[in-house]
Structure 1
Amino acid sequence: MRAHRIGVVGAGYVGLTTAACLARLGHTAVCADIDESKVERLNRAEVSSYEPGLAEIVTEGLQAGRLRFVLGARAATADADIVFVCVPTPVGANGSADLSQIYGVLHEVRDALSSGTVVVIKSTVPPGTTDDVGRLLDRSDLDVVTNPEFLREGHTVEDFLSPHRVVVGAGDAAAARRVAGLYAPLGAPVVLTDPVSAELVKYASNCFLAMKLSYVNTLAELCECTGGDVDAVTAGMRHDPRIGAEFLRPGPGWGGSCLPKDTQALLRAAESVAVDFPLLRATIDTNEAQPGRVLRAVRTAVACSPERPVDGVRLGLLGLTFKAGTDDLRDSPALAVADLLAADGAELTGHDPGVPAGTQAAGPVRVVDDAYLAAKDASALVVLTEWPQFGELDWARLGEQMRHRVVVDTRNHLPPEPLRRAGFRTYGTGRSAG
């Protein structure tokens, strides 16, 4: 395998993982960021991301001399033969993807790129962006390729080194094969296609997963209204190979850095070419309704009525991140629920293994470093994130801290028997109270 000189622009969880893993595969990788203190920390192998294995392979790459971190995009790209652009594409004012950071990087590095360099758009971008980038660069001696990432937060190293597929979109077949060759040692299926199709693969995948989650949350509501048990329903569904087992767990809604922005971006992309996408619109609307369902469930559990506010009630929240295994609070459904509970008058104390005590990013929630502190004097505990640690708590001890032994388990995450033995009344999602 030929070793390449890789430039990576952006040291977020995608860029950092890309640079470190390509160094692990034997390439030389230079990763750039605009945060000077972050660059200094990374060159000392200080990785703050909540990503198992990432700190180890960063250390390995630095020690082997195959990985280093620099300030500014030009410093990472001038000597590279393949450049990965891994900068954020957040939701813009109208819901479409904001590509300003991508275009800013390309303007910065355009004249510094060596002839023959392949520019790889790793960021999630709307259909047509790769072609737009080629026109912006306006250099016939460069190739522009899109290579969308499929990295789950909390599993980025695992997903990069053991991918389900590698997707490369390019107008030039040789450039596509060159980028695909980087992943050859991983033995993953490779999809080589045109840029627009490759861009759509990422959006189509994430939006399909979002639809599954909204679908199962609506099933949970139907079960609550008819006396069914959503866990039994989904257990029966999972055995059908056409449906599969993943993304069939109900909860307080989906969030994070990808699904909310990608569903909005694909919807806007469809609207821009006059394509009606009611299924995707319903997926988003259903998700936006979930925090309100949780509020009504908490009211029912604490105040015995879905319409009676929980004004002055102390509640303990277990979980604040958008999912377990990450420290990411962006678009967290747990915080959306917390905002509604606070507006309803509740006093909120929360604990999350990924969020340090005292953090201000949790809005109305006073964050503590211990689940038992979150439970102190609470009229109910509300489980909002599926951290495995919560299933291992001493529920008898928790009950002793609380005013009332009530749990609202929005994820159906907790084992029921320890709670029953400790005298708790449990309210789940899509099933009867226990």
Structure 2
Amino acid sequence: MSKKAFPKMRVAVISIIIIVAIIAGVAYYYVTLPGPAPTPPLSPIKIGLVGELTGPWAYSGTGQLEGIRFAVEKINREGGVLGRNIEVIVTDSKGDPSEAVTLFRRLVEVDKVSAAIGGLSSSVAIALSPEADKAGVPIIMSWAASEKVHRKDSRYVFRSPVQLVPCVMQGVTEYIKSQGYKRVGMLVADYAFGRSVEACLKSYLEALPGVQVAVEVAPVGETDFTSYIRKLQAFNPEVLVNAHPPRGASAIKQMIEMGMKPEVLIAYAPDWTELWEALRDDVFQIKLVHIWGFFDPSNPDYIRVAEEFREKMGKFMDMSQVVGYVQINLLAEAIKLANSAEPEKIRDALSQISYKSFLAFPLSYMPWGELREPRIVMTVFKPGPPPGRVNPGAEWHPEAIYISPPLKPYVPEE
């Protein structure tokens, strides 16, 4: 190779190096150039709980919250609703109606919830009902079985899944008639719910010839029922309707201790566990009928969910946990149906929905938010654990003895 060729080669090599460097720089630029910003996660759908976690109704209120949390975790784990997680903002009214109203307004105005759950006690629900219509935010009432909760012009008030007093008392009247009972005793709590049971059942029983009714009214916080029981004992009822939450179990125990053992109809919706803890083996000493049920505990779909609840939460899925679980799933289905988390659209979807799950009746609604096709499920205690892994090692299980046909929905007078 001639000496003249070396400069040419050097130029060629340098040119190649420069070209490679330029290409590498361009490649580096394209590789490191920031791409489009990742899509931020969608904000959660907020649901407010005006709970009753302390105070007279704490047993049911804390159970309801357990069911809510179980349902929310399950829904979010499976992808949420409309691609968004559900977030529940929890408050505690302590069972005080004015405090409940304050909390609801804060949930609406500050937290901007899409819907709310509340109204465990009837007094709280009656206070919240007009607030929901005024705010234009749907609220799912819980127990709150007084018919005064609903007005004919209510459009944002719905219930799930506990039935109203008039509907349940229809079923109770038919039961009393079928048994041929003529002496009916009643122990009721002195507040909206208890008084509703008293007035409604008495009006139905008046249509049954020869039926006598004796009523004793006790304060909500009463713990010593001796004087009330003595008066009822003198009447000697064949069946006693117990409408005294949250102290009804204590009244039953005192009644048994005083030697009074009529058939007892539990005319409210306590947890089975609550009754068992208060009465233990006494539940087998008398015919104790829980009349305010809304699902058959032998339903395979309930058993499947209750087994999962037991595995996740470490306890039995009782009535209060079912209430919270169903309420969240009802709202999730309504949001899907509405394809929106806007309160008004959720309200419209609830007005059209027919949601059943493992309940004994579908959750569908009259225009004012009352259940369209309610039924009642009566249960009794039986020895031994329930089927499957629902409550292993338990000394008892609930068994359905009667599921009513669809009952007539309540129509408010105004």
Calculate the TM-score normalised by the size of structure 1.
0.32
Structure with bigger gyration radius: 2
* Structure showing greater relative contact order (alpha-carbon pairs closer than 8 Å, 6 or more residues apart): 2
Calculate the TM-score normalised by the size of structure 2.
0.33
